[in-house]
Amino acid sequence: MSIRKDIIISIEEFKSQTELPDQDADLLSAARENAKKAYAPYSNFQVGAAVLLANGQIITGNNQENAAYPSGLCAERVALFYAQSKYPDVAVKAIAVTAISSKIDISSPIPPCGACRQVLTEYENRHHSPMRVILQGERGSIVTLNSASDLLPLKFDSEFLK
């Protein structure tokens, strides 16, 4: 006989940036500003990410594409890898992600790809500290989650390597 288990995740939706808590709104603005500097000549999908560290610092990143497509990297990982290489002992409190495009209208929140979700949760585990996630498209509603692990149920983590 099997046992059924349901996983419940909690997300919050805001109609506009003005409804967000100030800290989230500031982080989203930093992500949006940084999306403009993304190197995305192949997709024209410019993603900006901003990371808030426990020491109050904001680190930004954007996607970096490559003619050999898989060699590029998403905005989230550019920001997180830089933040964690420079401040290895400092927890990541929050990450905001947004995107702009000259080709399409991005009106819904940009969800991080699977590989980025794996990386977000790695740093939550590293610092035993939840990472708030703030997602928006170029316009439209904003979705927030209180922990990156809500984006990746049944994740693989360091527990399996012990």
- Chain positions contacting ligand THU, by CB under 6 A: 40, 43, 45, 47, 63, 65, 72, 74-76, 97, 110, 112-113, 116
Judge contact between 135 and 9, C-beta under 8 A: no
The C-alpha atoms of residue 106 and residue 66 are separated, in whole angstroms, by 22
13 is catalytic: no
Please state the closest distance from residue 32 (CB atom) to ligand THU, in A.
Answer: 14
Of the pair 33, 54, the CB lying nearest ligand THU is at 33
Q: Are strands 11-14 and 142-145 parallel, antiparallel or unpaired?
A: antiparallel
Please state the closest distance from residue 142 (CB atom) to ligand THU, in A.
Answer: 15
Q: Which of 12, 13, 33, 76 is catalytic?
A: 76
DSSP for 76-100, please give it: HHHHHHHHHHH-TTS-EEEEEEEEE
Give the active site residues: 76
